[in-house]
Structure 1
């Protein structure tokens, strides 16, 4: 959510290829014409597996957690760690990848609800197989809210990783206040217009990544969801995770979610940033981690999730 250039993507079909590692098999699984991803299956299976479905954050983010110019392998490394711990994982590309590949991407037609429907389709695909002991939805950043809504009535458990605890307009306004306070008043006015369900003509091109005409409909569909309201609807085991070195989503956001759902587990991981990497130094090190796919993710992250899944 750093620049909030709202673009989104996905794909999935029945053809598959396999790649065997020491502890798990990785294969490509297609859910439908828009949704394609990787299924990590532990090699040793003594009983029905637990499955975690990973949902990526905002922007053109793929199954591995990467965007063009921002390769960190966050979701790939998490999926591998969980599979090594005996948990099956499915992580998928956002629908925009399939739309771009087919030449049918129309950003102005994208809706936040499209991604909720995609997550529901993935959940249902694996539920229909009747081979998993439990299905847990785990969303990262924007994907946390998508997963939160999709999991309601459809999944056995839910995990928020760096998920916002406030509507996106409040999060964006806070980010603008920190990064470009001189734009706050204008951004606030624009967000209020979108919150009322109305588009507008953008005059200030400095704000094009946020408010260009083609993305305004998506913003309108996103703003209407309040994470604190949505999490209260969940009647399933819930785990909330945030890192104290996250410069995009604050620890306070996770705490707000926990206050809205008191029986949710809350874990704040020391030195973990937004893309799950351990940061011991300054902001420069933190930002550099976004483009370092070889930097390991926090061991504590996979350990906390594994313990949670095994308790289901």
Structure 2
């Protein structure tokens, strides 16, 4: 009897392994830009027909193609790409360019501005357009990547998706965050941002704000502040999908609504219990924060379903 049971178990394992065999190719792709060579991963179905391609633009900080950085690993963008490829939608996700800089590239790091990210995104879009291998090219930007994607998509993409993207200028967002986390620093934050908006650097400020406003970061903030997401979104004439989660502690529903109002071609989808990293959160802030460093927690299936429906509508 034991022998027969082992045979059955072995057969079941073999069947499951066969059923989980990948039906897509996974390729490392390097794309030269004026600033640096962008490195990423392309997932493409085994199909003779052309499929839609979604270019996933990561959020702020030194974020890699999977949505991770050296401190926090959550695999948010990796799971998103894998979820989409299961519906025969190709994806390209990439490492932020700053991850390609060496420690000796101080000049590049010091001169980095927001426009560099926009130019890199445009180059990536044009790279895939020239291949003529895809039926549609859609840009999906997460968090900071939403604004990058909005601007890069103009006259370049067939559709745009905002994933937890801010609807206000970065100075407004920073002031709101400081007010919530350290109200005592709000007035000084406003003064610093006012000077940066004028194009003036600030040398002296409360050391508690050093991570936000150190000299290296200030030129980047100056270039970022000048872009208003609502103004830029109004310029798009392509289908737009705006997605926001109710458990997002970094971007509010208000931001999503402001983006939606800015362009009549947009759809707004609010996903209950989804946080900034597309994970389902049913508990408190502690659970939410814990998800930022949990690479095994899957993203919400509802997010995939909403994106797939959007892609099918514009095919």
The two structures have a TM-score, normalised by structure 2, of 0.90
Residues 198-237 of structure 1 mapped to structure 2, 5 A cutoff: 198-237=200-239
How many pairs were matched up? 291
8 Å Cα contact 1:202/1:211 also seen in 2: no
Secondary structure, aligned partner of 1:100: coil
Query: In the alignment, which residue of structure 2 is the partner of 1:254?
Result: 256
Root-mean-square deviation (CA, aligned residues, Å) is 1.2
How many angstroms apart in 2 are the aligned matches of 1:49 and 1:202?
53
How many angstroms apart in 1 are the aligned matches of 2:70 and 2:244?
25
Query: In the alignment, which residue of structure 2 is the partner of 1:104?
Result: 105
Secondary structure, aligned partner of 2:131: coil
Runs of 4+ that moved beyond 6 A: none
8 Å Cα contact 2:247/2:272 also seen in 1: yes
Query: In the alignment, which residue of structure 1 is the partner of 2:181?
Result: 179
How many angstroms apart in 1 are the aligned matches of 2:196 and 2:227?
13
8 Å Cα contact 1:34/1:99 also seen in 2: no
Name the structure where helix makes up a greater proportion of residues. 2
Report the CA distance shift for 1:36/1:21 in structure 2 as closer, same or farther (over 3 A): farther
Q: Name structure 1 gaps, 5 residues minimum.
A: 1-19
Per the TM alignment, residue 46 of structure 1 is displaced from its structure 2 partner at its CA by: 4.8
Per the TM alignment, residue 290 of structure 1 is displaced from its structure 2 partner at its CA by: 0.3
Query: In the alignment, which residue of structure 1 is the partner of 2:14?
Result: none
Residues 130-149 of structure 1 mapped to structure 2, 5 A cutoff: 130-149=132-151
Q: Name structure 2 gaps, 5 residues minimum.
A: 1-19
8 Å Cα contact 2:247/2:276 also seen in 1: yes
Per the TM alignment, residue 191 of structure 1 is displaced from its structure 2 partner at its CA by: 0.4
How many angstroms apart in 1 are the aligned matches of 2:120 and 2:202?
28
8 Å Cα contact 1:64/1:74 also seen in 2: yes
Secondary structure, aligned partner of 1:117: helix
1:195-219 per-position Cα deviation (integer Å, ceiling 9, x unaligned): 1111110332111111000110000
How many angstroms apart in 2 are the aligned matches of 1:170 and 1:137?
25
Secondary structure, aligned partner of 1:134: strand
Structure ID, larger Rg: 2
Per the TM alignment, residue 230 of structure 1 is displaced from its structure 2 partner at its CA by: 0.2
8 Å Cα contact 2:238/2:265 also seen in 1: no
Query: In the alignment, which residue of structure 2 is the partner of 1:66?
Result: 68
